[in-house]
Amino acid sequence: MGNLSNFKTIILAGYIDIGNIKYLCFIVLILLFVAIIVANQLIIGIICKEKSLHEPMYVFLCSLSVNELYGCIALFPSLLSNMLLSKIPEVSLNLCHAQIFALYTYGSVEFCNLAIMSYDRYVAICYPLEYHRIMSPARTVTLIALGWSISIIKFSITLSVNIQLKLCGNVLDKVWCDNYMLVKLACSDTTANNISGIIGTTVTIVAPLALILFSYAKILRVCLKSTREKSQKALSTCTPHIVSLVNFSIGCSFELIQSRFDKVPMPPVLRVILSIYFLMCPPLINPIMYGMRLSKIKRALKNVIYPRSYIKPVSQ
């Protein structure tokens, strides 16, 4: 048993031999990486710079962009180096654990941020006169800190349990380290890991999902009682959030299906795309969509790009 568990590296067998096409894929991924970094940094910079954007909705959006930068940086450098430089893509066991922690906390914080943003829209639409009292600066910071701290603490516990596992293999059919598949390689008792996983799923998925469903049920109820014009106006403020939520949920579903049901036949290229969708598309689409849909951010962007044309600060 001791010899079987004495692995120092993890082989990522999800990478496929695509010949010279890998250079084209490398260029596309580099461009995608740069676009994600620039778009999210621009959103963060605009929100920090413009005082008129120092409101809960935009502060939550800023937290969302910070998290998307975090997840992107955790994946792309390893993905690019393994694709172009490594004949046998592998990472050290310690780096594998670190990548699991980074990518899983990214997913958890993303979902928590989206849940908090749904609650913010619920308060804004259902209690507009009390919005600034309920979503005070202190409560806004507390909600963001809660989402980040719960995710970090939860996956710190998960990581501390996983480190104790004795592995009987070191090959993962993925392009990044996956917690579920790593536990499947264990030849020691995984009861603690299973219990931790159930608790973690409840905390990081069920609780945020319940808040999202509650918020939109209340919003829908108010919209059904309002005039058509007021309903359309209320729902239009929710559109970017709904698109973000659906996009991220689809990406997580892709990842869940191909990880949990890894025997389902599908082309290797499709398996890789589904594996990294939730780490590539939401971080790119979200800042572009919010920048296009939210008028205050559009005006702030114009103020930065054409400062002479906008002498006055962005209006409230």
Instruction: Tell me whether residue 2 is in a domain.
Output: no
- Whether 158 shows a pLDDT value over 70: the answer reads yes
Instruction: Tell me whether residue 39 is in a domain.
Output: yes
Q: Does the pTM of the predicted model rise above 0.85?
A: yes
Instruction: Tell me whether residue 4 is in a domain.
Output: no
- Show the 3-state SS of 144-197: HHHHHHHHHHHHHHHHHHHCCCCECCCEECCCCCCHHHHHHCECCCCHHHHHHH
* CA-wise closest residue to 118 among 71, 66, 60: 60
Instruction: Tell me whether residue 167 is in a domain.
Output: yes
Radius of gyration of the chain (CA): 22
DSSP state for residue 314 in the 8-state scheme? P
Instruction: Tell me whether residue 70 is in a domain.
Output: yes
Question: Cα dist. 35→30, 47, 65 in Å?
Answer: 9, 18, 13
pLDDT tens digits for 211-256? 999 999 999 898 888 888 878 887 788 888 888 999 898 888 877 7
Instruction: Tell me whether residue 282 is in a domain.
Output: yes
The number of beta carbons lying within 10 Å of the beta carbon of residue 266 is: 13
**CATH at 55:** 1.20.1070.10
Instruction: Tell me whether residue 315 is in a domain.
Output: no
pLDDT tens digits for 261-300? 665 566 667 777 777 888 888 999 998 888 877 777 878 7
pLDDT tens digits for 103-117? 999 999 999 999 999
E strand or H helix that includes residue 9: strand 9-12
Q: How many domains does the chain have?
A: 1
- Whole domain around residue 211: which residue ranges? 9-309
